[in-house]
Amino acid sequence: MIVTPLDEVAWLYNVRGSDVSYCPVVHAFAIVTIDSAFFYVDKQKLSPETNSFMEENGIMVRNYGDVSSDVVLLASNQLISSSSTKGFEENPKIDVGNATNTGNSSSHAVEFVNDLIWVDPGACCFALYSKLSVDKVLPQQSPLALPKALKNPVEIEGLKKAHIRDGAAVVQYLVWLDKQMQELYGASGYFMEAESTKEKKQLGTRRLTEVSVSDKLEEFRASKEHFRGLSFRTTSSVGSNAAIIHYKPEAETCAELDPDCIYLFDSGAQYLDGTTDITRTVHFGKPTPHEKSSNTAVLKGHISLGNARFPNGINGHALDALARIPLWKYGLDYKHGTGHRIGSYLNVHEGPHQISLRPSARDLPLQVSMAVTDEPGYYEDRNFGIRIENVLIVKECNTKFNFGDKGYLSFEHITWAPYQRKLIDVSVLVPEEVEWLNEYHAKCREILAPYLNTSEMEWLKKATEPIAA
């Protein structure tokens, strides 16, 4: 098997690095046979501990550039599984190093008689794929994608802890931003619905921009245990910029925050024990009825999907409409998927499952212990954008009946941050939605309390006060 996706190589050998911005991976390849494993990487980047780990586990570390010639040897049944140079005689430049395969002490060539080389055609680069003859290739989705997506108990625990710390950072950011918007712009703030006093024209050069506030959010995250960096470039967007789904602000051209406009921030972090991704939409002035109605429709879809129960064997494609139906009721929709997979201190987007209106040939059914996001939205060109996002873990659930003996699944929220109440039209919520919101907010208070100081906790209590049905 030839492994080319960087996150799969990192997961397979349990290594992390910093070769790619926002993703803790290294530039590397892997080749795995029935009795040997090869790791192609810049050897100078490996610590002595990593080298020892590889050697102890029988993983042969090779130079990054050797993968091309080794694929040729693999195709001709000449790739060697130990430190012997047999099989490399025609290419004296290849350095097999000192690693040995502890599972088999003898030196021998890997036999491929009547065997195929497993290659994922959707992930393998053409340069390597073209070195293999068609009759030698098993062109199928990587067998690593599914086990990587199925988080083990340690990974799940790490993801939960990382999201708690991350939620605390988000709350601290909202507390700080609320205060700044009131002091600098005369905003009514996070809680009150009132027009701003437009004092910003008298404030000189002190300004809050999309970039400066996102930098502050990173500061709060950086103060948390196990922080290793952001998991993607933050979408910090105000007003019409929030209508651009993948908007990324630039310091030279970004907009200034406006207390009379919606502010959307989609952000996440890499922690040693997990990867996070969260989106919240807020308003520090008086939202229009249309903004409030649109946000409430998005929230209703978010709640509907997060509370779904479904039989084993269901793909995320079958659940996508749950998040869109409240928007469809008003003739609204959004042009992106509803949920993407998320790694465990790896890529914030990973495979093979998703929740999307568009089916994918590579999609696999949702299974217990998978992590996926729940992020419906609505974007009105040149006006505003809304998105709400939590990370969910798939879990088993008990149902009164069990049709077909399939077993049924549900989701567990692991993201903790308040939904802004003044952007919610409570009159269109059903009692079950109000009950869920109140329970979620109560959990936010309970779970985040140990990570917040007194004033921050007082703010959170106010932000999560129960909503009257």
Indicate whether 84 pLDDT > 50.
Answer: no
Confidence of residue 138 (pLDDT cuts 50, 70, 90): very high
Q: Please report the pLDDT score of residue 110 as a whole number.
A: 36
The structure's pTM equals 0.90
Residue 114: other Cβ atoms inside 10 A = 5
Long-range contacts made by residues 37-43, C-beta under 8 angstroms, separation at least 24? 37/13, 37/101, 38/62, 38/70, 38/79, 39/9, 39/13, 40/64, 40/65, 40/66, 40/67, 40/70, 43/97
Lowest mean pLDDT among 70-84, 102-116, 149-163, 385-399: 102-116
Q: Which two tokens stand for residue 118?
A: 């497993």
Q: Please report the pLDDT score of residue 104 as a whole number.
A: 33
Can you tell me the mean pLDDT for 138-155?
Answer: 95
Cα separation of 1 and 4, whole Å? 10
Q: Is 126 left (phi over 0), alpha (psi -120 to 50) or beta?
A: alpha
Can you tell me the mean pLDDT for 81-91?
Answer: 38
Residue type (1 letter), 108 = H
Instruction: Render pLDDT for 244-289 as a digit per residue (tens, 0 to 9).
Output: 999 999 999 999 999 999 999 999 999 999 999 999 999 999 999 9
Q: Please report the pLDDT score of residue 274 as a whole number.
A: 98
468: exposed, middle or buried (C-beta count within 10 Å: 0-12, 13-18, 19+)?
exposed
Residue 290: other Cβ atoms inside 10 A = 12
Confidence of residue 198 (pLDDT cuts 50, 70, 90): low
Cα separation of 45 and 42, whole Å? 6
Q: Please report the pLDDT score of residue 75 as a whole number.
A: 87
Question: Domains in the chain, ordered, with CATH?
Answer: 2-143 (3.40.350.10), 153-463 (3.90.230.10)
Confidence of residue 202 (pLDDT cuts 50, 70, 90): very low
Confidence of residue 80 (pLDDT cuts 50, 70, 90): low
Q: Please report the pLDDT score of residue 359 as a whole number.
A: 84
